[in-house]
Amino acid sequence: MTRFSFVLRRPFELIPVLIGISLVSFVLLQLTPGDPARLLLGPKASAEAIAQLREHYGLDRPVFIQYFYYIRNVLSGDFGQSMSFRSAIGPLLLDRIGPTVYILVYGLFLSALLTLLLGIAAARSRGGWLDQAIRVLCVAGVGIPSYFVGLLLVLVLSLKAGLFPVSGYGNGFLANLYHMFLPALTIAISVTPILTRNFRATLIQQMNAGYAVAALSKGVPEKNVFWRHVFRNSLLPTVSLFGVVASFLIGGTVVVENVFNVPGLGLLLVRSVLSRDYLVVQGVTLVMAAGIVISNLVIDVVIAALDPRVKT
């Protein structure tokens, strides 16, 4: 058995996780005040029309019967029909996954780049003015909510400077990069302070470790010790934290997508909650839960590749 054997069993661990999440979200949605049939037909709809709509979508059946039929349909690839969008939910989710994945990957890439630059700069100038400035920025950045960062970027870089569009997704790869820069930067700014503080502390800890001190005492150049040993040994805990942050951001994209009107799963989720479109909310929740599990699997593979001693 290799250290990557967990890749084969992890998909089976995904099944009970998704069932548990689907059950909890289903029950919570049922407890949410408001009748989706009345909300869809309007306050002037007759009782007969509401009853027919509830019967059509199965809302008049007991909760456990509704959940049983929902799970049976999902296992066959059918997420049901959306009441508010009047279309199949499966294709609707597929259309919205692309922008969400794009903004996540884009934001995590910018975050990783900023973390490497700021963490190395702070650790290499420990105690200096640059280190102090980066630490102040990190402390300030931790307490700023992502929606405020997004609105500030829109005000400064879009409305004032006119450098980037206020909203949208764009058509084509270059247009996507241009339109999604501010949403991705918002994501990066919201998590980079946490990653940078961790990376800086790990670098300093490794620089003071016994192997680094011994190598320097033997006359090995400081740059060689840093880049060949200290830097590589500091990546593992940062990558682990990066996985936690990535899982957190899958849910955090809801705020960013609504600020920048990005047509992704987050925007779809908010609109579905407001319209009491339960099946769409269930579908988005399952997709996001699957994304969290998959992101954790990817991080586990990366950690196992970086450190052969790690057994997942």
Place of tokens 């456990």: 64
Confidence of residue 6 (pLDDT cuts 50, 70, 90): low
pLDDT of residue 34: 67
pLDDT of residue 117: 92
> Rg of the chain over CA atoms, in angstroms?
24
Q: In the chain, how long is the greatest CA-to-CA distance?
A: 88
Q: What is the per-residue pLDDT across 117-156, written as a single tens digit (0 to 9) for each?
A: 999 999 888 888 888 898 888 888 877 888 888 888 888 8
Nearest 5°: CA angle at 216, between 211 and 217?
95
pLDDT of residue 258: 86
Mean pLDDT of 85-96: 85
Mean pLDDT of 231-254: 81
Phi, psi (deg, nearest 5) at residue 88:
-65, 140
The type of residue at 255 is: V
Of 36-45, 112-121, 158-167, minimum mean pLDDT range: 36-45
Which residues lie below 8 Å from residue 213, measured CB to CB, with a gap of 6+? none
Q: Domain 90-306 is classified in which CATH homologous superfamily?
A: MetI-like (1.10.3720.10)
Place of tokens 């700069």: 121
Mean pLDDT of 43-68: 76
Q: What is the per-residue pLDDT across 18-30, written as a single tens digit (0 to 9) for each?
A: 788 878 877 777 7
**pLDDT cut 70: percent of the chain above it:** 91
In the predicted structure, residue 278 carries a pLDDT above the cut 80:
no
Residues facing residue 88 across a β-bridge: 81
Mean pLDDT of 177-200: 89
The ranges assigned to domains in the chain are: 6-75, 90-306
